[in-house]
Structure 1
């Protein structure tokens, strides 16, 4: 969520052989095209995800390779928030607004305005009043019952979710935080979410931070990003552990979670 240019990643495990399909871009909340005003509109993201599943499960070139009873979703950051909602989690607007009344970092700092991105260029933007977000849409159910398993890595809007909605999610919800102990920001901490989910699990990856999910940076990338005005430490994991090593552990956790939960349905 804090990263303005990489606002969420998804994948699906939805084939008989277990292949992964990358998620779509979302205008207004995707790399190079992201504004604070569009960020809370998770209903647009879940609609996009369901539309992709619609297409793949009916397209003659793909449908034969897809087991409709074994569709899983993997989401990171804002993508993790959308993945939560498509599994049945519902957000509470007032609870989220109250959280940002006192928390001034990460997602809440983003809503404070000043900068967004359009067509890969920074633009000046106004502050977002969360209480003026479309409450009906923000709090609606975006459940797609075709999803049978979810892996949620540093899910965004972690402070917004209604506890009862999480209590009602029957599928496996595998939460992963990048970091450990007090290093995990309130914006994405998922231990409480896992505890509320009847089939929830929780894991952390020590020596990592939120940006460790992103690809390894090439030489000179940090300086280049700084020259563009990027303020987030996208290339700095800062914990003495290589990003490749973090990726290896994360891939193992995601693979095991999907294999365990989706294989059991075969």
Structure 2
């Protein structure tokens, strides 16, 4: 994406190649983690999913999925049989100078030493209050290991609060399809628009602070 935009006639003139940041949410947060220099550990992730059966680990349990909006059956995935070299490879991109990680996925799988070696500012944001954030995405421990990191939470939110505001009847429609995740519901009575406003402020402030020219 950086290669493409940096050479695109429409965008290249407005891109400062010395001040590139990345923002990622959930699985996008995992991608941003690795772009910043974090490396995943397959055995650590497999051990985590041996006992944790919800959230990301539930994806590998087998059951029903959808392809082109049609339900299909799929078998259980044995994490220890996937390509370890590919799972654990470095995806560091040194052109990226700052990362904002919102509920980053694979939170239980990163190699601690790789986090300690990250050289750029890392801004970790969790949606929810301490004690309510799922193990799959909790980032306080990651922030404690990264040397140039900050950590913040957004109270009254949950993991799905990052998604767009739902249309009227959206929650009921999802329920009719068998969706069990609270995609349209936010915690503690806050509106999603209000949560988005807090997130926008946190992300903007992080990028302005970490990508500014040194004085």
Taking structure 2 as the reference length, the TM-score comes to 0.96
Runs of 4+ in 1 over 4 A off after TM superposition: none
- 1:31-180 aligned at under 5 Å gives the runs 52-180=1-129
Residue 145 of structure 1: SS of its match in structure 2? coil
Residue 115 of structure 1: SS of its match in structure 2? strand
How many pairs does the alignment contain? 215
How far apart are 1:117 and its partner, in Å? 2.6
- Structure 2: tracts of 5 or more residues without a match: none
- Give the greater-gyration-radius structure (CA): 2
Residue 151 of structure 1: SS of its match in structure 2? strand
RMSD of the alignment, in Å? 1.2
Alpha-carbon distance in structure 2 between the residues aligned to 1:174 and 1:158: 14
User: Which of 138, 141, 147 pairs up with 1:192?
Assistant: 141
Corresponding position: 1:256 with 2:196: no
Matched-pair contact (CA < 8 Å) for 1:74–1:150: yes
Taking structure 1 as the reference length, the TM-score comes to 0.78
User: Which range moves more in the overlay, 153-162 or 110-119?
Assistant: 110-119
Corresponding position: 1:229 with 2:205: no
How far apart are 1:265 and its partner, in Å? 5.2
Alpha-carbon distance in structure 1 between the residues aligned to 2:120 and 2:68: 38
User: Which range moves more in the overlay, 95-104 or 113-122?
Assistant: 113-122
Alpha-carbon distance in structure 1 between the residues aligned to 2:196 and 2:169: 21
- Structure 1: tracts of 5 or more residues without a match: 1-51
How far apart are 1:124 and its partner, in Å? 1.8
Matched-pair contact (CA < 8 Å) for 1:208–1:239: yes
How far apart are 1:170 and its partner, in Å? 0.8
Matched-pair contact (CA < 8 Å) for 1:207–1:240: yes
How far apart are 1:61 and its partner, in Å? 2.5
